[in-house]
Amino acid sequence: MELSYGLFICFLLWGGTELCYPQPLWLLQGGASRPTPSAPPVIVECLEAQLLVTVSKDLFGTGKLVRPADLTLGPKGCQPLVSADTDDVVRFEVGLHECGNSLQVTADSLVYSTFLLHEPRPVGNLSILRTNRAEVPIECRYPRQGNVSSQVILPTWVPFRTTVLSEEKLAFSLRLMEENWSTEKRSPTFHLGDTAHLQAEIHTGSHVPLRLFVDRCVATPTPDRNASPYHTIVDFHGCLVDGRLADASSAFKAPRARPDILQFTVDVFSFVNDSRNVIYITCHLKVTLADQDPNQLNKACSFSKTSNSWSPVEGSADICDCCNKGNCGISGYSRRQPHVMSPWPKSTSRKRRHVTEEADVTVGPLIFLRKASDRDTERWASPPSSMALGGSLAALASLMLAAIVLAVTRRGSVSHSVSASQ
């Protein structure tokens, strides 16, 4: 009765039952309120080296079948396999690297991406279309863990994982250390005659072993490495030239603690006619593979006044011979050369994705006192304050004592008056 009454009302208002029940009436009366979902129109199978795509000709689920000629796969427009007109599906079978498929490498997977394109074309001489253009994204993921073969592979190239780590994990540092090299120095204050202990280090994560070198260092009164005045400490790709001066004993520490650490000492100095009393030390650091032998371009050489010769931290002694000549390998880095506008080459714009294998690092400011008497001034800077504090406490104690005596005297006077009155 309720259904008939509703149909009657719809018939009176709209002149028919189609607007009230767009679904077939037999579906409602049979108890099925919604049509049963069908199989997906696109099925993708990701094989070891191939990609299989099965497309239903009823791609849009409207009953209007698409033509196989209107379907392509990937940016290169690969055609489907030949199929009979009576088939309900269209099949593609291509290699993972074919049809312009793109590859993306994530931390856990290899991801191959492409798309299925439906580009309808007019039939015959007609200029109308009855279906839409559609693009269906397709993706295949393969886990990176494990071997694809049971045979052991011995690579003759640097593994890809190592390459990625070398691109993302290199971090250079230059720190001021205590005399025992065990901890970082907390105070940057020095006196003339002291020695600064510097430690260059590179943090590599899980990178292949690397060897660190201090290519050159310059001291300036400001953080600008090209400022004036300046003093060259390390030059010519690893020659500690400051140690060659008559009043200096600067040198690299040998042997190394680790290949990725290089330690050296610098005698503290000041710039003449400069009242800022600070210096900044900027060093150009670089790395090589740890198993690569040191050479004239990658070395750490100190000058010994005892033997009047240069000696390397590691490697053969002849790699330091060029320190006397001031020409080690490729010239053009020294600030002393008149034709060079700047000793610090501008940072090259690397279009590659990886981080550079060299970097400029600055430590400072290093604060120093010019005169020896400054040490005594600093040591006895606090006694006046202590004496003032002691005087204040003594005055306060005297006032408190006077107040107590006055209170006791008044109490005695009151007691005497009461006794007299009685």
Please indicate, yes or no, whether residues 360 and 275 belong to a single structural domain of this protein.
yes
Report yes or no on 55 lying in a domain: yes
Please indicate, yes or no, whether residues 19 and 66 belong to a single structural domain of this protein.
no
Distant-in-sequence, close-in-space partners of 38: CB < 8 Å, separation ≥ 6: 61
What single DSSP character describes residue 373?
H
Report yes or no on 79 lying in a domain: yes
Report yes or no on 117 lying in a domain: yes
Report yes or no on 118 lying in a domain: yes
Please indicate, yes or no, whether residues 105 and 232 belong to a single structural domain of this protein.
no
Instruction: Tell me how crowded residue 417 is: count the other CB atoms within 10 A of its CB.
Output: 9
Please indicate, yes or no, whether residues 190 and 121 belong to a single structural domain of this protein.
no
Report yes or no on 419 lying in a domain: no
CATH for 93: 2.60.40.3210
Please indicate, yes or no, whether residues 32 and 61 belong to a single structural domain of this protein.
no
Nearest Cα to Cα of residue 115 among 86, 140, 152: 140
Please indicate, yes or no, whether residues 291 and 239 belong to a single structural domain of this protein.
yes
Q: Which two tokens stand for residue 47?
A: 């094989």
Give the per-residue pLDDT at 67.
85
Give the per-residue pLDDT at 391.
54
Q: How many domains does the chain have?
A: 3
Report yes or no on 150 lying in a domain: no
Distant-in-sequence, close-in-space partners of 297: CB < 8 Å, separation ≥ 6: 237, 328, 329, 330
Q: Which two tokens stand for residue 392?
A: 């204040």
Please indicate, yes or no, whether residues 175 and 215 belong to a single structural domain of this protein.
yes
Give the Cα separation of 293 and 78 in Å (integer): 52
Per run of 10 residues, the mean pLDDT along the chain (length 422 residues) is 47 46 42 55 89 88 84 91 83 90 84 89 72 85 67 53 50 93 91 92 79 95 91 95 91 94 94 86 93 93 94 94 85 39 42 59 84 47 46 62 63 48 45
Which range of residues forms the domain containing residue 24? 1-37
Please indicate, yes or no, whether residues 197 and 320 belong to a single structural domain of this protein.
yes
Please indicate, yes or no, whether residues 290 and 370 belong to a single structural domain of this protein.
yes
Please indicate, yes or no, whether residues 216 and 334 belong to a single structural domain of this protein.
yes
Give the Cα separation of 73 and 80 in Å (integer): 8
CB 328, CB 297: distance < 8 Å: yes
Give the per-residue pLDDT at 150.
54
Q: Last residue of some domain: 143, 162, 187?
A: 143
Encode 309-342: b = buried (16+ Cβ within 10 Å), e = exposed: ebebbebeeebbebbeeeebeeeebbbeeeeeee
CATH for 316: 2.60.40.4100
Please indicate, yes or no, whether residues 340 and 200 belong to a single structural domain of this protein.
yes
Report yes or no on 316 lying in a domain: yes
Report yes or no on 387 lying in a domain: no
Q: What angle do CA 170, 176, 180 make, to 5 degrees?
A: 110
Instruction: Tell me how crowded residue 357 is: count the other CB atoms within 10 A of its CB.
Output: 14
